[in-house]
Structure 1
C-alpha cells in the first residue's frame, strides 16, 4: 500500500442488470404501513395474517389499506424492495469513490451494517419470506442482490490485484463477507452498540475473510 488513492474508476461496469427495474419511491404513508407490517409479519408470521389484521396493526380501516396496497404480497414486496434497492442506490456509489479497494469496501460495509441495524426487522422479514413473493417480484429482488454481490466481488478482485487481499476466489469471498454481515439481523438486539458492532465486523471481514494486508504489519 502506497497511501496514494487510486482513481475513482468502477471495478465493474457500474450498470444494473437489465432485469432490475427503477424504483418507484412510495409515499410516506406507504412507507409507514410497510414498516409496521414488517413488525407484524415478524411477530405473527406472513402466512398467518390477512389484510384486515394488517390494517388493525397499522391503525387504519381495511378499506383504507387497499388505497395504498392492493394485496398483502404487495406489502411484502415493498418491504423486500426497500431492503435491496436502497442499499444498491446508496451503498454502491461508495465503491466508485476515491481510495484503495480496501478503503472503498470498508466504506460500503460500514454503511451496509448501519442500514441493517436501523432496519433489522424489515431485513429479516425480507430474508425469511422471499419465497412468498410472486415470481416476477422475487426476480427483481434477486437481481438487486446479485448486482450488489457482483459489485462487492469486483472490488475484492481489485484488492487482490493490488496485493491488499489474499483470497483465491473473489466471488466466494464476496458471498462469505455478505452472508456474515447479513447474518447480524438474526440476533441483533436493540441495546447493541452499533459503533462497536461495525468495527468488529469490519475487522472480521477485512482481516479475517479477506486477509487484508495492512501497512503496519511486518
Structure 2
C-alpha cells in the first residue's frame, strides 16, 4: 500500500451523499469484504470488486483512488461502527465506555471472524492509511477527558493515552487473527491492555480500579487452558 493517495470519498465529505450514492457505496464495501474473506487481499482486484458490486470499474476508481484506499475504508468504517456502538451502549462516558469498548470490539470480532481476519493485517500494516487514530480520538479521547475532569488523569496525557489504547486494541485483534489469542480470552486481553496503559498515569479511584481489574484479568488468563 505504498504511495496511497487520500481516498476520494474522504476528500468529498463536505458534499452530502444522496441516498443512491450511500446505497452504492454500502454495496461496494459489502462486496469488498466478501471478496477479501474469500480470496485474501493480494488476489482481489478493483475489476473483481466492481463486478461483484455491480458498478463500472471506472466508477469505482472515481470513488476510491485505489484498491488500497478502498480496503482501508472498509477497515475504518467497520471499526468505527463498532466503536460507535460501544459508545452508545456504555453505562457511562468514562470507565463504562472502556468496558463497553472491550466487550463490543471483542463480540463483533468474534461475530464475523472471517471479515475480522481479512482486515486485521490492513489495520496493523497500514494504520496511517486507515486513519483509526481519528476515530479513537473521537471516542476514547472523550472518555479519557471525562476521567481527567474527575481528576483521575492529567489532561496533558490524554492524546498519548488515546493513541496507546488504539494501538493496543489493534494489536489484540491482530494477535487473535494470528491465533495467538483464543476467542474466549480476547476481551480479557483487551481489558488488561487498557489497564496496562492507564496504570502508570491513573490517580485516585481510576488507579484503584485499574489495579483490581488488571489482577482479575491476569488471574482469568492464568486459569485459561494452554
Q: Which runs of 5+ in 1 are unaligned?
A: 1-17, 56-61, 132-137
TM-superposition CA deviations, 1:45-81 (whole Å, max 9, x none): 6xxx5345x46xxxxxx8x436246346375365235
TM-superposition CA deviations, 1:114-134 (whole Å, max 9, x none): 334542322433554578xxx
The equivalent residue for 1:7 is: none
Aligned counterpart for 1:149 among listed residues 123, 132, 137: 137
- 1:158 and 1:168 mapped to 2: Cα distance? 13
The equivalent residue for 1:109 is: 102
Aligned counterpart for 2:207 among listed residues 209, 213, 218: 213
TM-superposition CA deviations, 1:134-171 (whole Å, max 9, x none): xxxx6xx53x6414323212211221332445785011
Aligned residue-pair number = 176
The equivalent residue for 1:99 is: 92
- 2:121 and 2:35 mapped to 1: Cα distance? 13
* CA-based RMSD: 4.0
1:209 CA displacement: 1.0
Normalization by structure 1: what TM-score? Answer: 0.59
Mapped pair 1:67 → 2:67: no
Q: Which runs of 5+ in 2 are unaligned?
A: 1-11, 61-65, 200-205, 213-226
The equivalent residue for 1:35 is: 33
1:173 CA displacement: 0.6
Kindly indicate whether the alpha-carbon contact (under 8 Å) linking 2:87 and 2:100 is maintained by their aligned counterparts in 1.
Answer: no
The equivalent residue for 2:163 is: 175
Mapped pair 1:162 → 2:162: no
Identify the structure with the greater helix proportion.
2
SS in structure 1 of the partner of residue 103 of structure 2: helix
By relative contact order (CA 8 Å, sep 6+), the higher-ranking structure is: 1
